[in-house]
Structure formats: C-alpha cells, structure tokens
Amino acid sequence: MTPPRPASDPGSPGNPSPSPSPSSGSPSPSSGSPSPSPSSGSPGSPGDLDSQGYDGLLALAVDVALAAGRLLASREGREGRVPVAATKSSPTDVVTEMDRRSEELIRARILRARPGDAILGEEGGQTGDAPVRWVIDPLDGTVNYLYGLHDWAVSIAAEVSGVIVAGVVSVPRRGEMFGATLGGGAWLESGGARDALRCGPGVPLAQALVATGFGYQAARRKAQGDVVAAVLPRVRDIRRGGVASVDLCSVAAGRVDGFYERGLHYWDYAAGGLIAAEAGAVVGGLGGAPASPSMTIAAGPELFGALADMLAGLDAERDG
C-alpha cells in the first residue's frame, strides 16, 4: 500500500490545519479557517477549481458515501458479526471483507464520474496522479462495525492540488452526514434537515470533555495509556468512541470540546479535519505543527492551546 504523503508534502494531512502558535497556546483568531484561500488562483492552488467546483466534489462525495454506507449497513448486524477476512498490523486491527468492498464501490463510483482523478484509500493505497485526489476511509471504526456497535463511518475527502477542499463523514446508523467545503462552512444533515455547525464555546481545560483514540500496536497503546492517565485528572472526562473521523465531527458539532490522537492515518482525519476547521475549531499538531499522523488535535480556539501545551508537556508523541 502506498503510504499517505508525509506531513511536509503540500498534499499532506496538514491541510485542514491552520497554524496554531507553537508555544503560546493561543491560536490566531482566524485559526478556525484553513489557511489556503479558495479563490487565490495561484498556480497549483485550490483556486484551480472554483468554489462551485468544490460543491460538485462535495455532492459526489455525499452520493458515494451514502451508497457505501448502504452497502455496509446491509450486512452489519444482520448476519451476526462480519467475517474477519484478514488482520493488518496486529490481531486487533481487523480488516473485514466489507471494508474492502466499500472501498471498491467508492473507487468505482468516483472514477465513473471523474475518470482522471487520483485516489488514496486505506485498503487500495494510491492510484493515479492528478490534481484532484480523493482520500477515503471506506469504513472508519472497523472494530465497532465488527461488534455491531453503531458508531462507524465512511469518510471521503477531495483534495485539489494538495489542499483538501471538500469532505464528508457519513454515519449511516445514526442517519447523520457531516460535510464541509473549504471556505464554505461545515454542516450536519440529519432527519432531512441540514444545519450549519459551529464548534462549542471555549471551556477551561479542567472542564473540557476530550475525545481520544488508541492505535493498534501494543507498544504505542502502552504509551497512549500512560498519556491518557495523566490527561484524565486534568479534564472533565475522556471519551473513546472508536471512530476518529466522527470524533473530529463531534468537535465540529460541540458534542465534545476537544480531540487528540497520535498515530492516525491521513484518511482517518482528512475529511473530519476540514469539517472541524470549517466549524471554527483549530486543527493542528504539537508545537505549531500541522495535524499529521504524529499528532492530530482539534478543539475550539480557546481550548486548543491549553490542550496542545498539556500534550506537549506529557511528551504525547512518544511511543515508548
């Protein structure tokens, strides 16, 4: 599988990130909006596609995510536990047959509509090389899905020239679809209504409800457990939902105050990062770095700095 581009690459996961100030802990006031301007028009910028073009990409992402969600939901819970087709890095990292089928469906539908585009997917790696690249997690929350828990999602983002300009996170069992376009805001569609999203008002760290997640490797989990043990007494409480894309959307919707996780893949946070940022959250890493597999943090502007500073103080990017 082709790994996602590194964080320093222009097409990197850093895109949803504004630039929180490295150590002050106080992100800039505009930090809720991703930095690249949709209308800058500079060579290689997302201005190559105007904002109406972003809406077209978003509409395709919505259609495809709904179709993939229907496919996944048609099996989940009906035939008992989904068969485990293989394992990845450890026995707890389950790759189901449905995971693969979902990605095949997503790839086929995107390429039917836009044959020249590139795609980076969790299961199939990178295919194609084009200004428009789709970043897909065909089934985020694999373990929840496997156990018949209803929090699992299909996450689809569209990049133009390395900048994420549209993203959706569909949560079929909740009947919820989150979406955003760069500069166009974030929304939640549920029960036939579409509502604009704003992340929650700032709360002091001690009152913050913070979501997090853990990787699949035992050594990393041990370190993550040590970090979360130190975080727990300093915040209101911790949530571990098992779906990073949904955790980011929960920040966008004000359902949690903040989120952090070490070790995410780009496809885990590409769409959710844009949705959180467009809802006014700061999305970044430690010490002013952009969000990356090394660390992804999302929180309202008033909380982000304190959360990031605490995690830096706990050396939360360590694996041992």
Q: Between residues 117 and 268, which has the closer beta carbon with respect to ligand IPD? A: 268
Segment interacting with ligand IPD, rule: CB under 6 A, options 16-24, 44-52, 156-164, 242-250:
242-250
Q: How far apart are alpha carbons 103 and 109 in whole angstroms? A: 10
* Angle of helix 244-252 versus helix 266-278 axis, rounded to 10: 10
Q: Between residues 36 and 241, which has the closer beta carbon with respect to ligand IPD? A: 241
Min. distance of Cβ 170 from ligand IPD in angstroms? Answer: 14
Q: Between residues 243 and 271, which has the closer beta carbon with respect to ligand IPD? A: 243
Min. distance of Cβ 145 from ligand IPD in angstroms? Answer: 8
Q: Between residues 121 and 213, which has the closer beta carbon with respect to ligand IPD? A: 213
Q: Tokens representing 228? A: 């979360």
Q: Cβ(137)–Cβ(245) under 8 Å?
A: yes
Q: Which are the contacts of 230, defined by CB distance < 8 A and separation ≥ 6?
A: 314
Q: Is residue 295 a contact residue for ligand IPD (CB under 6 A)?
A: no
Q: Cβ(300)–Cβ(202) under 8 Å?
A: yes
Q: How far apart are alpha carbons 13 and 243 in whole angstroms? A: 17
Q: How far apart are alpha carbons 304 and 140 in whole angstroms? A: 24
CA angle 47, 53, 57 (to 5 degrees): 120
Measured from each CB, the residue nearest to ligand IPD is: 213
Min. distance of Cβ 50 from ligand IPD in angstroms? Answer: 32
Helix (H, G, I), strand (E, B) or coil at 221: helix
Among 215, 272, 285, 293, binds ligand IPD (CB under 6 A): 215
Q: Between residues 261 and 317, which has the closer beta carbon with respect to ligand IPD? A: 261
Q: How far apart are alpha carbons 308 and 149 in whole angstroms? A: 30
Q: Is residue 243 a contact residue for ligand IPD (CB under 6 A)?
A: yes
Segment interacting with ligand IPD, rule: CB under 6 A, options 36-44, 69-77, 110-118, 210-218:
210-218
Min. distance of Cβ 19 from ligand IPD in angstroms? Answer: 24
- Which class for 73: exposed (0-12), middle (13-18), buried (19 or more C-beta within 10 A)? middle
Min. distance of Cβ 186 from ligand IPD in angstroms? Answer: 19
Q: Is residue 159 a contact residue for ligand IPD (CB under 6 A)?
A: no
Residue 135-154 contact track with ligand IPD, rule CB under 6 A, x = bound = --x--xxx------------
CA angle 110, 278, 38 (to 5 degrees): 65
* Angle of helix 51-75 versus helix 97-113 axis, rounded to 10: 150
Q: Is residue 242 a contact residue for ligand IPD (CB under 6 A)?
A: yes
Residue 267, Cα to own-chain centre: how many angstroms?
7
Q: Is residue 211 a contact residue for ligand IPD (CB under 6 A)?
A: no
Q: Is residue 214 a contact residue for ligand IPD (CB under 6 A)?
A: yes
Which residues bind to ligand IPD, rule: CB under 6 A? 137, 140-142, 213-215, 242-244, 261, 263-264, 268
